[in-house]
A = this chain, B = another copy of it.
């Protein structure tokens, strides 16, 4: 068996809807994915589910073998690129816990700073964005890249293709490019959206999409237009 040159991914909070959707996409694309959770048994259940879904989709055994379960810290240690998909309320505490395992790595922050119960209302934090909070907390030795805030978990979990672009913000252009490669592996288009402070745009947009979803009974997303002119 040839060794993969793809980065090994950890998805912290990987038992949630968005983490589950991303895991399915990336395993299907041939990535080795470690599902992280606060409780190892929850992560193990998510992995079992993931394997069952891959089997249903007739994904080959090798791909199914490339997924494993761990507690969040062990998951982060085992990975080259770490993805954070926990609720905003747990963002800081999770990052504090895994910080030692992130040095020199890319942290993909998928956090949306929703403040329940009014999740359809934009309520950005005083730091400007959850992405900025992560970068401040982790320091410049971790390349924080914000992405996937506007992607409906519903669509990610299904195997079908769907129409949604991903805004990718971060202070390192090279790190953004690596994340755009992962966006494309998930079947989507990614765009360089600027420095980490620009994560505010995608994060705020999520509440607008929730507002639109309520009206249309939909799982709305966005597409960047006007690029051919």
Contact = CB atoms under 8 A, between A and B. Distances in A.
A152 B211 contact: no
Interface stretch (A7-15, A82-90, A196-204): A196-204
A167 B162 CA distance: 22
A14 B182 CA distance: 44
A97 to B, nearest CB: 29
Number of copies: 2
A220 B211 contact: no
Nearest to A212: B191
A56 to B, nearest CB: 21
Interface stretch (A35-43, A61-69, A101-109, A120-128): A120-128
Interface of A: 120-124, 128-129, 152, 155, 162-164, 167, 169, 191-195, 197-198, 200-202, 204-205, 207-209, 211-212, 215-216, 218-229
Given A162-B226, A198-B204, 12 more contacts: A121-B194, A122-B197, A162-B229, A164-B225, A193-B212, A200-B204, A201-B201, A201-B204, A202-B208, A212-B224, A221-B224, A222-B225
